[in-house]
Structure 1
């Protein structure tokens, strides 16, 4: 019987149990995948802890993975058994086998390993919609990316540099600063030691940035707004330090007629044509070598508790991938 991580009640890493689960046949429009690699993301912590609610308890966490199709349901024409696929917005991927809607998966092209695909679908597609769809980064733009040494950050900063931007990143330690510099950051700010808004003003000669990409949340708001030029855009796409609970729309006017948005990957990928176009864009920059997918953590699925403890403690850089 295949194994999976199941959460029976919301809480800390200890609520995740490694258990036998029944294998179900794929329903209409679905595929069953034997996973070879499982991506780990901060959103998994939000669901495990109850910040985001699962449809029901118990549930299997996880959004991201890659593997081989072993069965297809009625009406599926996109894939056949034996196809290599990856996905970043599925459900229940902390498992040896997963059943998902075929429309959530994309084919993995030759030259992209399963581990790389599992490490980059959610984070890489997030970088894609941030840089290419939410605020389209142009040559000559100066941008600020918080948590530049994180999973999304290391992909996004390389990509932004490839697009011709001057990239400022914030990180929490000297080791992470060096990593960020290696992955596209022109300027790195140690946000625990420095006033990052003041440093951004220095770096930009008082002009500010075209856009701030903020997956940190509570700890970087509202100072992120002080990093923007007039009419600049504040993009809040996560809350690793806690939810922003005191957002004031009036501040946008006071600080330069700013724009603010809170996009999610799942809205962008809900449309099949958009998902395919985004994945093609992502695979393109990875296969060309312009963007490298750094996998710095590897673990077994049964050790998911330890993986979550390290991720929540900001002890990780780049992507972590679990194998069944």
Structure 2
């Protein structure tokens, strides 16, 4: 997902989409997953020179990614759509008081508590950590270096550093992460109800549609097994004064006025897949150097005076 915080920031995206040929280009890539420049120019019936300018505009807008071709034939580049949806927040600053904020990136391997069941495993960018389907390796000291982890059922907890100044309260909490289901092998039609908790309060549930392995993840290491999890979906979870939202869609009424934190409180965020959910399809978390988005769990905390 491409999240745009204001109309001003959205102008390059609107311009990139304001062309019939670029819309056809996007539709063609969505149909074929990825294509090299020669294939794409031929399919659109335009020259490579003309294609280059269109591709550049879409790349600058964050809609398209250009990657080296995995087959290694010369210097040919491969194009792939980089987003599954675009969210423009046209009123992000209209109803919030003046606020301060801080941001934290939490590595995927930096969890502190867990209870997981197979299928499960974790890996660095260079090698698997221990044996797959053995939850004991989630306690291995090397887990802090993990860039991807997965489990079929259970939960995993991350501590969000509390940097609130004294006398301040949280007005909005935003987390973004790349996530998918966890199927045996891969299966794009493998729904999983993934619930999110903050300090043991369930803030909502989102259903992941599947575990994706149709193409190699953009940042997934070349050695990674082709029939394993390749990439996920970039999701943005927001908890503010109005409720809890995933990609702008409200998933619960839990809000920051109910979740009272002081500068002395722990903040623990949990990903969970377990009963009594209807779809227990596991989860996979992708960090830097895996998947399509090359990021860890990004957290931004907005705060205002506690008056």
Range of TM-score over shorter length: under 0.3
Specify which structure has the bigger relative contact order, considering alpha-carbon pairs within 8 angstroms and separated by 6 or more residues: 2
Give the structure with the higher percent helix: 1
TM-score by length of 1: 0.27
Give the structure with the higher percent strand: 2
